[in-house]
Structure 1
Amino acid sequence: MREKLEQRSFLFMLLLVSLLFGLILKPFWGAIFWACAISVIFYPLQHRILCRIGPKPNRAALLTLLFCVVIVVFPVLLIATSFVQEGLSFYQRIDRGEINPGRVLEQIRTAFPLLPELLERLGIDLDSVRQRLSDAAVAGSKLLAEKALTAGQSTFGFIINVALMLYLTFFLLRDGHQLTELMVKALPLGDERERKLFSKFSEVTRATVKGNILVAMVQGALGGFIFWALDIPGPLLWGVVMAFLSLIPAVGAGLVWLPVAIYLYATGAWVAGTVLVAFGALVIGLADNVLRPLLVGRDTKLPDYVVLFSTLGGLSLMGINGFVIGPLVAALFMVFWDIFMREFNNQPPE
């Protein structure tokens, strides 16, 4: 009796201490997650470097980390800086009245006379929408001006998170195998099941991050190129926006180029509008429909509809990190049920 009480008390304290430790790490959760993801993605490179230079884990981890910084971190920081600059310029033009969302909506209503009637049947007041767009544009300009005052603090926090992520990535690259073995010993799920789950985690994380980021880069570059070719203002800004939105399968980049094409039609630029629609549907859309199933669905071994819903759910619950976590949770869900069906349902009744 006393032994059971001690065991239960110990397990309760173990759970409590683990939860408290998780709360302590909560402010750095994003940095920890991306450190794990980067170490998983670049572990094959780490292994190749070890094979070449011999058993020198510190040097191999450092070389791998430097390679990651050069090809990932620096380009992302440069693009983010350019995106912020173009975004600030765009909102300043709205604040000065050079871009008026209400006027744009009025031009669309004039060009498409059936639109007001259609929206009225749907219960949408076009005048109210126009006023809300104007108010939102002014509010956005004020918000951006307020955020500019705290940019120094935000930038400092961002740099700290990046530094912590890179610091942790170095140790995960160097000691990742030992940490995995330690977790296999610690978790009471069965070594074979745990190895399968860790293998699936690595497989899905690598496929989701590499696949989605590659699709986002391709769609953002194509979108920015066609905006530049058609002389649409802010091609870099809209290219980055399309890259982020392309994390949403099937519809992402279309949320940008389709409204712009409608505006071009409304202003009489029929040729530019037609070119944008054709390029968006055939080239940008083809990149999504061809690359995503090949790079994400095939490697994660998840159906396309599961990838779509898990990505949308992850983004809505966890923000930008959700495009990885959503499919990862879906894959682990399917692995757990696969283990259950194979190992438990086939057991003879007691």
Structure 2
Amino acid sequence: MISRPPNTLPDQPTTPERLKKQKAASLVLYIGLVLLALWVVRDFIVVVAWAGVLAIALWPLLRMVEGHRWFSGRTTLIAALLTLAIALLVVLPVGIGIAQALREAHDLNDWFKGVQETGIAMPDFIERLPFGVQQISAWWQANLGQPLRDSAAMKGLHSTTVMTLGRHFGARAVHAVMVFGFMLITLFVVFQAGPRLSGSLIKAARRGFGDDGAALVQRMAAAVRGTVSGLVVVGLGEGALLGVGYFVTGLPHVALLAFITAIAAMLPFCAPIVFGLAALWLLTQGSVVAAIGLAVFGSIVVFVAEHFVRPVLIGNSTRLPFLLVLFGILGGAQTFGLLGIFIGPALMTVLMVMWTDLVR
């Protein structure tokens, strides 16, 4: 017979009340560990979120490629090809822009040296303005028409504030490159996991929240996928239409400008930056009518695309009303930045499901 060591209390019986306390303590422990884990990886949450958005958007393509006989069972190859395509979609326009800038850097440097010695000549179209010609001419001659070597603006280029801003911009650029690299790695891992990952997520949602919770997760994924599709389709359409405008107005590098516009237009209200700068360039060249025409045409295209076409495309795929889609995109962007463009419609989907269940 085994005797109990001295000063050892006997095991207490597991009562329902004690079991309830243990479950509550376990829940608190789990929540604390999850919060601690999230705090540890807090700098990579955005990376995982971007990878998740892209994975959800490309999931149908992934499943379609997996079903092809040439790629059957080659999950790693498929993941690598899709990840490479995403990398090229971002790197290619940036590389083209940098290469174009380097080719024209010599001319820009000569122009910069010239304005230091002679100033910037006032464009001829200013003299043909219907009003304000004297005021604008006086300001131009006082600030830009004189040699800029000793001007306050040129001295400001070497100030401590500008140097600090330059270092800050460089640090942000390096951080963006690192985030993009980690996002590509995460996206590759997600693609490589393939159907096993999606099945596990749906199974976990069904076990934790029931069939309604799993259905809600699927509808949120559809909302994200529809948002990405709407952004891409509308972006390509805006780029094509504005490319026609660039060609008609006689701008150089039409294909490059159209491509950059398409990429910018995939983000709400970013296309006006591109065609606005193009119109400003036309204005400085004396093409007043072409500049105004391009600005008006671009504004109409962007207004129709952003306020009607894009919300309709996203709403049809997510079964959301037009107003909820618009509020989701704009409110999400205001709250969460670029990532909020995709989070907003997903949250509006949750709101719509809750309202439907309430009035059912």
Q: TM-score, normalised by structure 2?
A: 0.69
Moved more, 312-321 or 224-233: 224-233
Matched, 1:23 2:39: yes
Give the Cα separation in 1 of the matches to 2:34 and 2:205.
14
Matched, 1:61 2:75: yes
Matched, 1:313 2:331: yes
- Given that 2:238 and 2:302 are in contact with CA atoms closer than 8 Å, whether structure 1 keeps it comes out as yes
Secondary structure of 1:43's partner? Answer: helix
Gaps of 5+ in 1: 117-125, 343-350
Moved more, 81-90 or 104-113: 104-113
Letter aligned with residue 89 of structure 2: P
1:211 aligned residue (230, 234, 247): 230
Provide the aligned C-alpha RMSD in A.
Answer: 4.5
Secondary structure of 2:357's partner? Answer: helix
Q: Write out per-residue CA displacement over residues 109-151 of structure 1, whole angstroms, 9 at most, x where no aligned residue.
A: 76656579xxxxxxxxx99xx99xx69x957798457745886
Q: Write out per-residue CA displacement over residues 157-181 of structure 1, whole angstroms, 9 at most, x where no aligned residue.
A: 5323322332233225443113321
Give the Cα separation in 2 of the matches to 1:194 and 1:105.
65
- Given that 2:282 and 2:288 are in contact with CA atoms closer than 8 Å, whether structure 1 keeps it comes out as yes
Q: CA deviation at 1:277?
A: 3.8
Q: Percent identity?
A: 22
Give the match for residue 93 of structure 2: 79
- Given that 1:41 and 1:206 are in contact with CA atoms closer than 8 Å, whether structure 2 keeps it comes out as yes
Q: CA deviation at 1:207?
A: 0.5
Q: Write out per-residue CA displacement over residues 235-267 of structure 1, whole angstroms, 9 at most, x where no aligned residue.
A: 64685367435522xx54335435754674576
Q: Write out per-residue CA displacement over residues 247-297 of structure 1, whole angstroms, 9 at most, x where no aligned residue.
A: 22xx54335435754674576413422541454255555555664144212
Higher RCO, Cα 8 Å, sep 6+: 1
Give the Cα separation in 1 of the matches to 2:291 and 2:225.
38
- Given that 1:315 and 1:322 are in contact with CA atoms closer than 8 Å, whether structure 2 keeps it comes out as yes
State which structure, 1 or 2, has the greater radius of gyration over its C-alpha atoms. 2
Secondary structure of 2:41's partner? Answer: helix
Gaps of 5+ in 2: 1-16, 134-138, 145-152
Q: TM-score, normalised by structure 1?
A: 0.70
1:276 aligned residue (294, 300, 318): 294
- Given that 1:36 and 1:172 are in contact with CA atoms closer than 8 Å, whether structure 2 keeps it comes out as no
Letter aligned with residue 11 of structure 1: L
Moved more, 193-202 or 59-68: 59-68
2:201 aligned residue (179, 186, 189): 179
Q: CA deviation at 1:199?
A: 1.7
2:321 aligned residue (303, 319, 343): 303
Give the match for residue 7 of structure 1: 23
- Given that 2:249 and 2:290 are in contact with CA atoms closer than 8 Å, whether structure 1 keeps it comes out as yes
How has the CA–CA distance of structure 1 residues 317 and 80 changed in structure 2, closer, same or farther, with 3 Å as cutoff?
farther
Give the match for residue 54 of structure 2: 38
How has the CA–CA distance of structure 1 residues 211 and 184 changed in structure 2, closer, same or farther, with 3 Å as cutoff?
same
